[in-house]
Structure 1
Amino acid sequence: MSPVCGLAVAVGPRTTGAPRLTVDLAAVARNTQTLAERASGELMAVVKADGFGHGAVDVARTALAHGATRLGVTSLAEAFALRDAGLVVPVLSWLNPVDADFPAAAVRDVEVAVPSRAHLAAVAAAPGRHRIHLHVDAGMARDGAEPGEWGALCRAARRAEQRGQVEVVGVMGHLGCADDPADGCNARGRTRFAWAVEVARAAGLRPRHRHLAATAATLTDPRAHHTMSRVGAGLVGIDPSGTTALEPAMTLTAPLVQVRRVRAGTAVGYGHVHRTTRATYLGLLPLGYADGLPRVASDRAEVLVRGVRRPLVGRISMDQVVVDLGASGAEAGETVTVFGPGRDGEPTVAEWAAWAGTIEHEVVTGIGARVPRATRAAAHLRSLA
């Protein structure tokens, strides 16, 4: 590591001349503190999809050092990877098929969500005593038990608990419209969740964890907090509700691998969908849709070159994209910022999402594995890296 502006930069193997994805763990730390202050109860750091593309282990360790008390993922494979990294805090996995490796979950002390009686039967049949969270569908027709099945699931879970096969430690759900706090479906989701908790209690269950809120509801709806909130996108600076200024934690840069001067009327890229309107310099970046740049952002997106926004022109190809450098040009080898926090005028992930007609989550999780990663952390976080 080498000190940079009071920070430590872990760069790994030399990748001079290559694109670079840098994750600012100090931003993750500050976001976690903000979310922990907003949450009424415990904070579960959700690090699914490799920590929303930011590195699951790094994000997990940083979040745990700054207010989170436990971790959440979707698959058991993601949970086992956290255990392999030496993380010993409670970990919940909530999206598994009925033939998942539940015996290994018990051995590795991973809590699992149970959305159906079939899942409950599979978990109860596996050796060991399993800590489970019963999952209710709070109004999304997605994961979780339907209301008509919920009572039977709770009663079956109580019987399995009495047999010593499981311990029901939680009830969970998910709100479908929390990014719009005024949407009436949130009230309906809260009502259904409260009903589900009462049904569980009537069946003799005493779950100590009740969690419904993800990032948006944690920031905007205290009525959804219960004993724990699950936050993932917020850790890395994404607020789906648009109400809170969190800090984006990801910066993507790339070098100009070639610069050329062209005439007005020069066709650029596949299909010649763009033609230059004046004499200009064109620069080539070694990034494309195989690296996560959304192809639908072609001829709309911008990058930062020498402190000035420059447009990407022509179609984004699999491995490369062209930037119009204007009359002043630039030199091959210079670093271009594709996106970042926006403090220096560079485009943000939110802008890239708008250009692509999608959400920030898709952009940050889509950056491909061939883009080298680096982490930047405050000095007091070095021991966690």
Structure 2
Amino acid sequence: MPEQPEVAVIEWNEQQQMIQKMVRDFVEKEVVPHLDDIEYNGVPPYDILRKMIRTFGMDVLATQQFNKQIAREKSGEVTGKAPNPEAAAEQAAMRMIPIIELCRHAQGLVTAMGVSMGLAGGAIMSKGSLAQKERWALPLLTLEKVGAWAISEPNAGSDAFGQMKTLARRDGQGGYLINGSKTWITNGPYADTIILICKLDEDGVAPAQRKIVSFILDAGMPGLTQSKPFKKMGIGSSPTGELFLSDVHAGPERLLGESEDGYGRAGAKGTFMQERAGVAAMALGMVERAQELSVQYARDRVQFGRAIGDNQLIQLKLAKMEVARMNLQNMVFRYIELVAAGKQMTLAEASAMKLYAAQTAMDVTTEAVQIHGGYGYMRESRVEQLMRDAKILQIYAGTDEMQVVAIARDLLAR
């Protein structure tokens, strides 16, 4: 039989539009009225996120998938049957839609939820032993407990591995003593479970050659201190803090994968790739909202006897916003198509998508503030929050500068 042509995704289907509306209605009802509390007044976001998870049955779905995977592993089946292309595309779309809708108002909620469920829970599910999955994973996947993924350090930003100072040393009894500090840790102040990435301190091994190892730590362990939340430029709804470790004892059962080779540099880099793929959806939500607010303001604001939207300079800004929105939407749809085809982006593609999405979100939200003028500088306008939130997209999950390096190196290595 001739091969069936692939159907390109050019818009959300009817079911996806229904889910999109349901999520948007939830955000308007349950998130927007509490924006000032979670963004500026230090109220943790987790109760709102848990309500969303229960409302849409995400906890039930996560539990079902968890139970199926555990059952497969206990029966000796290493991997499950890959979903068919249609199911894979639907799953990808269902991941993207809540990200887009939340980022229209509070990007920090996506960051807080994604790190806990996706990075921390996902690391255990992908690299943890069966015992570790059963002990730690499910409460993270349902957000019953809050998770953190800790790699960044005060002197180790883009050079996360090269400048890493946090060390784990074998205690001679099968366990480890961990010393050091981590900073800029999403969910750090409230995390119940922490995936800690550090170096193994071995006699005779130069710092640059030290092995990267990871541990599963619990809040309250002796020697582990979690700071209060930082005050940040943006994404206030995503609590960020520091971790301090002084002779924290971790038994061998806490070594991720129960092996010193279980989750090293490759695992951490894979997590960076996962983060980058979601940035286009985050940027799309922010750009959509900035454009909506700008169009409405351009219609309503009258200066010199006419709406400012009648001025060509304002029209140019709005037109560029539409170009940006379309490009980001197409990136999201292309990602869904790749998932459906069982393909992965190259490093250059993932980094290029992240680079463009981050810069575009910053450009559009900056222009939204400009269109709003003095009002745009006020919190009440909400475009100033979008602008401040957008900036972090150019920094976390790899700075713009590091994306350029990653793109060029991948292209040159082919």
Comparing both structures, which one devotes a greater share of its residues to strand?
1
* The two structures share one fold, judged by TM-score above 0.5: no
Comparing both structures, which one devotes a greater share of its residues to helix?
2
The TM-score with structure 1 as length reference comes to 0.31
